[in-house]
Every structure is written in C-alpha cells, then in structure tokens.
C-alpha cells in the first residue's frame, strides 16, 4: 500500500512535473528545481496558515495558562487536565507545527530520488503524453548543468574541494544553512513584532516537566540554530541540487509569511527600522561629542 502511494501519488507526479518544467524552461534543471520549491510552498499554504493560527491562539491563551500554572503548579496531573480542557475549548493543537514539517520532509525525500533518477536517465514513471510532448516519444537526454555546476555533484566527494571549481559547491551548501537561519529568525520576529529581549529565568529542576507552551517555545528557540546547522551539513554531504532547493524554499517561505500576515510583518519591519534609526542617532551624537572634545 505504502509503495503504491509513494510511486503513484508522490514519485510519478513529481517526476513528470519536474520534466515538464525542465522542458518549458529551456532544458534548465536548476530553474525547474527552484520553481518546484515555490510550487510546493504554495501547496503547503493551508498548513502554514493553520500553523500561524496555532501561534496566535497560543499567544491568546498564555495569560490563562499562566493562571493554571499558579493554581495547579503542585499538581501536575490536574494541571495537565486543565490545560487540555483549555486547548480543546480554544481548538488549539500544541503539535500543529508538525502538519507542515512532515510534508516538507516527504517532498525532499521524493525530490531527491526524482533528480537522482533523472540524472541517471532512469525515467521510469514518465507519463506517455509527457514523453511525446518533450521528445516525440524518443529517448530523453537531460542536461544536469546549472550555472556551470553539475547538479548531482557532492562537495565532500569532489577531488579538489577547495579549488576554483569546488568552492562554488561549498558556497551553495553554506548559503542553504544561512538562508534557513534567516528564514527561521525572520518569521519568528515578524510573527512577534513586539518581541523583546527575554529576562533570564532560573533553570527548572530536572524533575519538573515543561508545560506544552514552554516546550513549544523551547523547540522554537532550538530550531533557530539546529535546523540551519543540519541543513548546511546535509547540503555539504548531498548533491548540490538540494542546496539550491533549500535556498529557494527559504526565500519563498519568507515571502509567504510576509503575504499571509502583512500587518504584523509591516509592524515588525517598522520596529526594526526604528531600532536602526535610534542606533544611528546614538552614533551620530557620540561622533559629535567626540568632535567637540577634540576641538
């Protein structure tokens, strides 16, 4: 059953979409991969909207959760029961973020197999009408070059890794991690435009369990560093087309969040600009004071 779903619902459609885009874009596999990243972000739009809704609900529930923590802090079982009642009443799912994360992992796994097979000229699964449209039913030859780079090359497997030919592969792998970090940081900041530097809180004892909302916040903070590091690591170890895909997906994600929640994005951007403006004014005052002292 799973094999049939993998082949007919996931692999074959993505293979044919990729080949169609490749043909439409002048036999350019790199651009086809970028467009696929954008398409998949659009397909995940409902899940992303749901995740954003869960974030808003968590912010609204925080005062009530704090009250429950004070009231039932010494009774973990009762606290958990009351929290679940509150979540159910507000229709909040503490693990709603997994709804958009799991499909992204599946897409990456399928895309990896698709591009790997395309590069090996293994086009089993191509629809006959797609084959006729691209080559009139003849054998299809795929160009796997993009910007002078071989999309199937792996940086760690190159003979001359730090040569002129090898450095671009490393740069793309590192950019994949950097773009992931920027995307995570940006979306977190834009969704919390009033976010201030948090005061240091005393560490909880090992035997104390984190509440679901505290656990989610801890996961969000860890994700800001762990995911980019993992992305860069895998991009170095995997074919470079995955790095290109991750970069395109990160940029598309930023644009997606901006469009979905433009009011908060605008407010967050204005706050950032005001911070930079204040810093600039402080620096200008310091420079003027130094000039007066020197004169």
Q: How far is CA 113 from CA 1, 4, 158, 272, in A?
A: 19, 16, 21, 41
Average pLDDT over residues 255-273: 67
Is pLDDT of 211 > 70?
Answer: no
Tell me the H-state helices in 91-211: 98-119, 128-135, 167-191
Q: How high is the mean pLDDT of the chain?
A: 78
Return the structure tokens found at 59.
């912010």
Q: What is the pLDDT of residue 172?
A: 93
Reported as a single tens digit per residue, the pLDDT across 24-70 is: 999 999 999 999 989 888 887 777 777 777 767 777 777 887 787 78
**Cα distance between residue 103 and residue 97, in whole Å:** 11
Residue 269 has pLDDT above 70, yes or no: no
Reported confidence tier of residue 122, pLDDT bands at 50, 70, 90: confident
In sequence order, the 6+-apart residues with CB closer than 8 A to the CB of 274 are none
- Determine the 3-state secondary structure of 152 from DSSP: coil
Highest-scoring range by mean pLDDT, 82-86, 134-138, 184-188, 243-247: 243-247
- pLDDT of residue 17 exceeding 90, the answer is yes
- List, for residues 74-118, the tens digit of each pLDDT value: 778 877 888 788 878 777 776 666 666 777 788 888 888 998 888
pTM assigned to the model: 0.71
**Quick one: pLDDT band at residue 264, thresholds 50, 70, 90?**
low
CB atoms within 10 A of CB 19: 24
- pLDDT for 31-42, tens place per residue? 999 999 898 888
Task: Determine what percent of the chain is predicted with pLDDT higher than 70.
Answer: 77
- Cβ neighbors of 232 (< 8 A, separation 6 or more) are 173, 174, 176, 177, 178, 180
| Per-residue pLDDT tens over the stretch 233-255 | 888 988 999 899 999 988 888 88
For tokens 């020197």, what's the residue?
294
Cα–Cα separations (whole angstroms), residue 72 to 64, 66, 90, 140 = 12, 10, 20, 67
Under the banding of pLDDT at 50, 70 and 90, the label for residue 196 is very low
Mean pLDDT of 107-136: 87
Q: What residue ranges do the domains of the chain occupy?
A: 2-194+212-260
């Amino acid at each position: 059953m799973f094999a049939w779903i993998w082949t007919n619902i996931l692999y074959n459609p993505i293979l044919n979409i990729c080949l169609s885009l490749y043909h439409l874009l002048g036999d350019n596999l790199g651009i086809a991969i970028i467009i696929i990243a954008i398409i998949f972000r659009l397909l995940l739009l409902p899940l992303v909207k749901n995740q954003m809704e869960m974030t808003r609900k968590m912010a609204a529930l925080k005062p009530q959760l704090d009250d429950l923590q004070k009231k039932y802090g010494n009774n973990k079982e009762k606290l958990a029961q009351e929290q679940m009642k509150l979540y159910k009443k507000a229709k909040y799912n503490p693990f709603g973020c997994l709804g958009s994360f799991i499909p992204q992992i599946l897409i990456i796994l399928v895309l990896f197999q698709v591009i790997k097979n395309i590069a090996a000229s293994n086009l089993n699964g191509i629809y006959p009408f797609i084959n006729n449209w691209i080559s009139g039913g003849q054998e299809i030859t795929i160009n796997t070059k993009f910007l002078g780079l071989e999309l199937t090359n792996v940086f760690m497997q190159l003979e001359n890794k730090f040569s002129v030919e090898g450095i671009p592969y490393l740069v793309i792998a590192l950019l994949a991690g950097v773009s992931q970090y920027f995307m995570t940081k940006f979306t977190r900041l834009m969704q919390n435009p009033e976010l201030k530097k948090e005061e240091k809180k005393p560490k909880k004892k090992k035997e104390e369990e984190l509440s679901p909302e505290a656990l989610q916040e801890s996961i969000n903070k860890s994700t800001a560093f762990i995911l980019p590091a993992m992305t860069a690591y895998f991009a170095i170890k995997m074919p470079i087309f995955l790095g290109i895909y991750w970069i395109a997906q990160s940029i598309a994600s930023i644009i997606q969040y901006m469009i979905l929640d433009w009011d908060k994005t605008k407010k967050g951007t204005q706050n950032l600009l005001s911070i930079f403006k204040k810093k600039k004014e402080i620096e200008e005052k310091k420079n003027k004071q130094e000039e007066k002292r020197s004169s």
